[in-house]
Amino acid sequence: MFSHNTILRILFHKIGNSSSQQAARNSFLNHIKKEFDAKPESKRTQQDVDKYNKAVNEFNDENNQFNNTNANLNGNRSKFLDNWNKSVSNFTDNHVPNK
């Protein structure tokens, strides 16, 4: 079984990885948008529009997944921190004399 510290490190590490993946997706979408905006509207083909729309839809889907993952990780992190704090409190109550 993992220690509380190990679990907390894993949870914080997952948030960091998710953030860097989110930054990569933002960069990719910005690249597609620049390409799309660089073409005058009159010269855009249906293929250009479809490519842009597909990128936006994928970004939105991945963004929703990112947000759901973050919400789950934040909820789990809160539970583990609460358990950690309870464990510390119980340990202190049992092993440190009251004055």
pLDDT at 4 over 90: no
Mean pLDDT of all residues in 36-48? 94
CA–CA distance, 61 with 92 (Å, rounded to integer): 46
Neighbouring residues of 12: CB distance < 8 A, sequence distance ≥ 6 = 77
Q: What is the pLDDT of residues 73-89, one digit of tens each?
A: 999 999 999 999 999 99
For Cα atoms 42, 47, 51, give the angle at the middle one, nearest 5 degrees: 110
> What would the two tokens of residue 37 be?
């905006």
Comparison of pLDDT for 65 and 25, the residue scoring more = 65
pLDDT at 3 over 90: no
Cβ distance 37 to 10 under 8 Å? no
What is the pLDDT confidence band of residue 9, given thresholds at 50, 70 and 90?
A: low
> What would the two tokens of residue 2 be?
């993992």
Does the pTM of the predicted model rise above 0.85?
Answer: no
